[in-house]
């Protein structure tokens, strides 16, 4: 799908979502439009409503926490792609309970973490808890419940050592700060993402991230804190000059569209997701067991920053699921 076709289908999905939701949440509409378009699906409000009713019901199959509306919509999108929706809901509930046994408090963030937990795997949950505790020792102020989905995602490989992972995250964080990236939870998320390549510190990978940011700025893109996690994805996807050209080309086309006038910061996110997923369709870019799906990483980042305000002031300082 070339840029023109993508934009045409994106706008069609956006308009359908606008009509369904009433246009009250710009970030949600753009995010859902991106998901449906990249999946080559047409938005259906009727289908989504049926899933939302199940998520928000009070029956025994309901999720054990009240979800913020944006999170519910994206969870509904995920469930729509499952062969057995009820089975998937029960998997999430069971995984959420497993995370509860290792003393993660009940929250929407724990539900998101449950999406990425290996099936009812207590050892995986214990590794996630260990990584969270190690991170908390290193960065007590920054490490909060917003990190829960990340620590689950980062600990899927049983051979990784949480203390080593946490120390590497801290080293990436401090070194990126010295390279003029702004401190905060977005930077911590980027540092966590970089350990998916290896739990050992990689100076070349860090320099690559810094270079990607500088190149975007040189090409006229305003790189904000909310874009930091996507810099990590670009680095893991081995983004070269040609792909950067593609991202900038789509970015410039999207910036001309009326719907992005009040969402300029989200334009880069859409362009990155489209170009990286195009590449993923034709080749395997990286060989690391802890990152089985970059699309999953995109969705993880979106899910986490959905639990908090996005527009008009941008993402809050609480730091985006898979097909």
Assess if residue 118 is contained within a domain. Answer: yes
Structural domain contains residue 314: no
- Is residue 322 in some structural domain? no
Residues of the chain with pLDDT under 70: 58-61, 281-293, 305-323
Supply the range of the domain harboring residue 73: 3-306
162-178 helix and 185-194 helix, angle to the nearest 10 degrees: 120
Q: How is 262-322 classified by DSSP, letter by letter?
A: T-HHHHHHHHHHHHHHHHHTT------TT-S-HHHHHHHHHHHHHSS--TTT---S-----
Q: Is residue 251 part of a domain?
A: yes
C-beta atoms surrounding 175 within 10 Å:
17
318: in domain: no
Residue 313 lies in a domain: no
Query: What is the total count of domains within the chain?
Result: 1
Q: pTM higher than 0.85 for the full model?
A: yes
pLDDT value at residue 30: 93
Residues 131-140: tens digit of each pLDDT: 999 999 998 8
Cα–Cα distance measured from residue 322 to residue 215, given in angstroms and rounded to the nearest whole number:
29
Domain annotation covers residue 321: no
Domain for residue 316, yes or no?
no
């Amino acid at each position: 799908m070339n840029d023109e076709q993508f934009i045409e289908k994106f706008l069609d999905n956006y308009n359908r979502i606008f009509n369904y939701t009433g246009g009250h949440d710009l970030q949600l509409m753009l995010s859902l439009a991106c998901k449906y378009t990249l999946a080559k699906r047409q938005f259906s409000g009727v289908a989504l409503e049926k899933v939302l009713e199940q998520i928000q019901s009070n029956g025994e199959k309901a999720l054990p926490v009240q979800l913020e509306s944006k999170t519910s919509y994206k969870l509904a999108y995920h469930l729509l792609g499952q062969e057995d929706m009820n089975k998937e809901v029960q998997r999430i509930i069971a995984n959420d309970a497993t995370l509860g046994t290792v003393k993660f408090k009940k929250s929407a963030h724990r539900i998101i973490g449950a999406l990425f937990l290996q099936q009812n795997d207590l050892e995986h949950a214990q590794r996630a808890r260990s990584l969270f505790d190690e991170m908390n020792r290193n960065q007590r102020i920054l490490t909060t419940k917003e990190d829960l989905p990340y620590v689950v995602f980062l600990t899927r490989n049983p051979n990784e050592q949480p203390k080593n992972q946490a120390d590497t995250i801290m080293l990436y964080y401090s070194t990126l700060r010295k390279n003029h990236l702004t401190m905060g939870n977005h930077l911590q998320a980027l540092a966590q993402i970089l350990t998916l390549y290896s739990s050992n510190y990689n100076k070349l990978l860090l320099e690559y991230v810094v270079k990607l940011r500088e190149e975007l700025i040189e090409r006229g893109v305003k790189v904000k804190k909310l874009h930091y996690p996507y810099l990590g994805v670009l680095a893991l996807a081995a983004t070269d000059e040609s792909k950067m050209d593609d991202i900038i080309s789509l970015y410039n086309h999207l910036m001309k569209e009326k719907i992005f006038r009040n969402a300029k910061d989200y334009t880069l996110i859409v362009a990155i997701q489209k170009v990286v997923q195009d590449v993923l369709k034709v080749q395997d870019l990286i060989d690391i067991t802890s990152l089985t799906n970059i699309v999953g990483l995109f969705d993880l980042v979106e899910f986490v920053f959905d639990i908090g305000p996005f527009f008009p002031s941008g993402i809050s300082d609480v730091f985006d699921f898979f097909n």
